[in-house]
Amino acid sequence: MTATPPDALLFIAPGCTHCPVVLQGLGELVKRGLVGRMTVVNVAAHPEQAAEYGVRAAPWLRLGPFTLTGAHSLAELQQWAEWARGEKGTAHYVEHLLKQGAYKQAVAFVSADTLRLKALLAVIADPGAGIDVRLGISALLESYANTAALQTLLPQLADLVHHADHRVRADACHLLGLTGSADARTHIAACLDDASTEVREIAQEAMQVLKPAK
């Protein structure tokens, strides 16, 4: 985790029932040193600033790199503040967006910093993750096929081909094939004799799309 706590930008609106709760919770986190600074904007007084950030409803919160809307308890805000200080929070945030059906927001979040792709492999490595979330994460990673951003994940994907769960191994083989790197062939080859038929088939397909090693 980084030493610096995240800053908070909160938009509130007159008559908003959830705004006071979020405002009070953030104030408490500032006192505890879990949030570095809090800026509060009343959308009625500054609609131009709300438009600048695309605020459509209040409360709207930018906490570190995360954008959160709606009601959040003190405990939830504290959790997000802690996640905002470490890499693991990236996967939690993208998972949060996908569960809300906000795939476009997840795409925008990752594209703003492709180094965030690495954190998403934690979901790929979790066979207990929901199918909708796994599919969403896979789609995000697949959108970077044959790019340097995905190729930098080759070491982590190489480790996942030895995972105990066949679904994880299969996903790892698939993504290794999408790296476009000939270096991935050695790792995919380890799955050609896998105990799982699904893994073997995906490994064969991945080998076919990769360039031969030099």
Token output for 82: 């802690």
Q: Give the pLDDT of residue 169.
A: 96
Determine the Cα–Cα distance for residues 104 and 159; give it in Å rounded to an integer. Answer: 29
Please tell me whether residue 63 adopts helix, strand or coil conformation: strand
**Ranges of the chain with pLDDT below 70:** 1-3, 211-214
Question: Which among 120, 102, 91, 118 is positioned nearest to 54, based on CA atoms?
Answer: 102
Written out in words, the top-level CATH class of the domain with range 8-83 is alpha beta
Residue with structure tokens 């380890």? 190
User: Residue 1: what pLDDT?
Assistant: 43
Give this prediction's pTM.
0.88
Residue ranges covered by each domain of the chain: 8-83, 88-209
* pLDDT computed for residue 177 by the predictor: 96
d(C-alpha 150, C-alpha 164), whole Å: 23
Q: What integer pLDDT is reported at residue 3 of this predicted model? A: 64
